[in-house]
Amino acid sequence: MRAIVIDKFGGPDCLVYRDLPEPEPMPGQVVIEIKAFGINHAEMHMRRGEWAEAAPVSGIECVGLVKACPGGEFPVGAKVAALMGGLGRTINGSYAEYTRAPASNVALIESDLAWADLAAIPQTYATAWTCLFRNLEIARGQTLVIRGGTSSLGQAAINLAVNAGVRVIATTRKRERFAMLEELGADRVELERPDLSARIAEAKRLDAVLDLVGNSTILDSLDMLRRGGRACLAGWLGGLDPIADFNPLLQMASGVYLTFFGSFVFGKPGFPLSDVPLQAIAADVAAGRLQAKPSHVFGFAEIRKAHRVMEAGEAGGKMVVVLS
């Protein structure tokens, strides 16, 4: 099979095409014929050598057809999505014609959506849904700030929150993106800045913050919350540097909650992928209730181009690769 391999750590040119053996069927795992896969910032960090783990074949998600499933968890030929469970980190991932994923990290996702549209859903929407409805426990009528709203995860979170009757205030670093976020349903858009808590009218009265900018803004996000409010850290658009000299005694308000979600836990006890309603999300996308169209669609031979667009901050949403 053709696969895209990280030849060495560095820029997009470090992604090279090679012929590799197809993955063999194993009990408890599913061999998937990949039809399309999403592009994620995690794969950029893996390519650069900035992630703790990186498999030779990158890619943390895909959609496709079941080729083999020795344990019988899924019928051969079924349309499925797969995400994380070591994909691209500890086992070869989805930048290939075939991959093998743990059955616990595979979900049926029958839909008439085109493969490109279907590939925009799994990782992004599973993560956004879990952050909103499990970690933040967001509810209809509440007010939520989404920092990093123009990212693919941010856009998915806006879609899901607005569809659930939540008032959303989104942030972006670029004024020219305000209209896009308003079209997604954001009630208001604010310019992203490190001291947003001092500039937002709802400070100290907000129910929740989904922080996708990361360690550089999470303490400021906590300062926006009402007593009992929740902040979820789930992205690092601002970089991977840790919070310097974090002292909760001096830097956290009393009575607020800080939570974290990393999608690498999907498939582990307590975080079953079956908890995420991917089938219902795909149905909402097909019905037009969620706007999940990919911002860019690339061919398999264009992986370096896709990574350059991502690295330049020009994605504007979810990018996907389709295998012909």
Distance CA 295, CA 309 (A): 11
Q: Which of 244, 261, 278 is the last residue of a domain?
A: 261
- Please tell me the total count of domains within the chain: 2
| pLDDT of 237 above 90 | no
What is the pLDDT, as a whole number, of residue 248?
Answer: 87
Are 186 and 255 within one domain?
A: yes
Quick one: average pLDDT of 152-181? 96
The helix (run of H) or strand (run of E) holding residue 282 is helix 278-286
Q: Hey, how many other C-beta atoms are within 10 angstroms of the C-beta on 68?
A: 18
Are 246 and 280 within one domain?
A: no
Are 243 and 138 within one domain?
A: yes
Are 204 and 253 within one domain?
A: yes
| pLDDT of 93 above 90 | yes
Q: Which of 228, 244, 261 is the last residue of a domain?
A: 261
CATH of the domain at 236: 3.40.50.720
| pLDDT of 252 above 90 | no
- pTM to 2 decimals? 0.94
Q: If you average pLDDT over every residue of the chain, what do you get? A: 95
Are 98 and 153 within one domain?
A: no
Are 106 and 166 within one domain?
A: no
Range of the domain at 246: 124-261
Query: 320: closest CA among 64, 89, 103, 105?
Result: 64
What is the pLDDT, as a whole number, of residue 236?
Answer: 86
Side-chain half-sphere exposure of 244, counting CA atoms within 13 A: 2
What is the pLDDT, as a whole number, of residue 303?
Answer: 98
Which residues lie below 8 Å from residue 135, measured CB to CB, with a gap of 6+?
230, 232, 234, 259, 260, 261
CATH of the domain at 304: 3.90.180.10
Q: Which of 233, 261, 289 is the last residue of a domain?
A: 261
AA letter at 172: T
Are 129 and 114 within one domain?
A: no
Are 69 and 139 within one domain?
A: no
Are 223 and 273 within one domain?
A: no
pLDDT grade for 34, boundaries at 50, 70 and 90 = very high
Are 109 and 153 within one domain?
A: no
Quick one: average pLDDT of 203-219? 96
Are 32 and 94 within one domain?
A: yes
Residues 282-297: pLDDT tens digits?
999 999 999 899 999 9
What is the pLDDT, as a whole number, of residue 247?
Answer: 87
Nearest 5°: the CA angle 276, 317, 229 is 55
Are 255 and 129 within one domain?
A: yes
